[in-house]
């Protein structure tokens, strides 16, 4: 059974989604703490494990008994890998700038999420554009291994990524509000909106870093 936004039962699965998201963030925080105790060499294996868990969720998203454990495992591993990235930015920019940037990014994400959930505007038309832009972002990102970015190109890439995931935040929350969802979809939905948040934070940090280096 699908829960429609106009259905009186819609509030229950939405409340459960946001509660699950809250607990998922706590698990990610635990992962970040664990990451502080891991050697740098663990980063690549953790990234590979993170991708494997994400792929597993895509194929097993309808199986609630597996979906939730996979989701929390993903959050734990993702938190650990995130710790390595945040440590890099703290070392290169200082903790004060990182905290301020993360704070602003989280506020922007929250504002977009609330607006997209409550507005009468329909942002579902963005899906095709966002997907094509994401593919372009990935391809451009792969190019940097051959032609490292610097200066204006780095700023453009970071800004482009930031806009894409701000768009995905609008799209994901708006789609949930307009279409509703089945409770079995919650684990993957939580991962989707978590990735929107994390990518906004990371691209914001990259954008600010590129500006400070100009």
pLDDT band at 59 (very low <50, low <70, confident <90, very high): confident
Mean pLDDT: which of 38-42, 47-51, 196-200, 207-211 is highest? 196-200
Greatest extent of the chain over all pairs of C-alpha atoms, in Å: 54
* Mean per-residue pLDDT over the chain, rounded: 87
CA 113, 115, 116, 118 torsion: positive or negative? Answer: positive
Q: What is the pTM of this model?
A: 0.88
Task: Give the residue-averaged pLDDT of 116-134.
Answer: 91
Q: Determine the pLDDT at residue 56.
A: 84
pLDDT band at 108 (very low <50, low <70, confident <90, very high): very high
* Cross-strand partners of 181: 3
For the chain, domain boundaries: 11-213
Q: Is the pLDDT of residue 185 over 80?
A: yes
Q: Determine the pLDDT at residue 62.
A: 63
Q: Is the pLDDT of residue 213 over 50?
A: yes
Task: Give the residue-averaged pLDDT of 151-168.
Answer: 92
Q: In this structure, are residues 16 and 68 in contact, taking their beta carbons and an 8 Å threshold? A: no
181 phi, psi to nearest 5 deg? -165, 165
């Amino acid at each position: 059974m699908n829960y429609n936004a106009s259905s009186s039962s819609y509030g229950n699965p939405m409340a459960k989604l946001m509660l699950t998201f809250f607990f998922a963030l706590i698990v990610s925080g635990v992962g970040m703490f664990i990451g502080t105790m891991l050697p740098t060499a663990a980063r690549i294996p953790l990234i590979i494990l993170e991708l494997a868990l994400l792929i597993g969720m895509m194929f097993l998203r309808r199986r609630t008994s597996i979906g939730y454990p996979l989701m929390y495992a993903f959050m734990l591993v993702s938190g650990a890998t995130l710790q390595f990235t945040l440590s890099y930015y703290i070392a290169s920019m200082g903790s004060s700038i990182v905290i301020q940037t993360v704070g602003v990014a989280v506020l922007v994400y929250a504002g977009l999420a609330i607006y997209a959930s409550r507005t009468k505007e329909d942002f579902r038309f963005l899906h095709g554009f966002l997907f094509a832009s994401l593919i372009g972002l990935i391809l451009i990102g792969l190019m940097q291994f051959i032609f490292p970015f610097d200066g204006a190109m780095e700023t453009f890439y970071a800004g482009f990524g930031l806009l894409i995931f701000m768009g995905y935040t609008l799209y994901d929350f708006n789609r949930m509000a307009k279409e509703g969802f089945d409770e079995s979809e919650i684990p993957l939905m939580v991962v989707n909106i978590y990735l929107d948040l994390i990518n906004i934070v990371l691209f914001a940090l990259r954008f600010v870093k590129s500006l400070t280096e100009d």
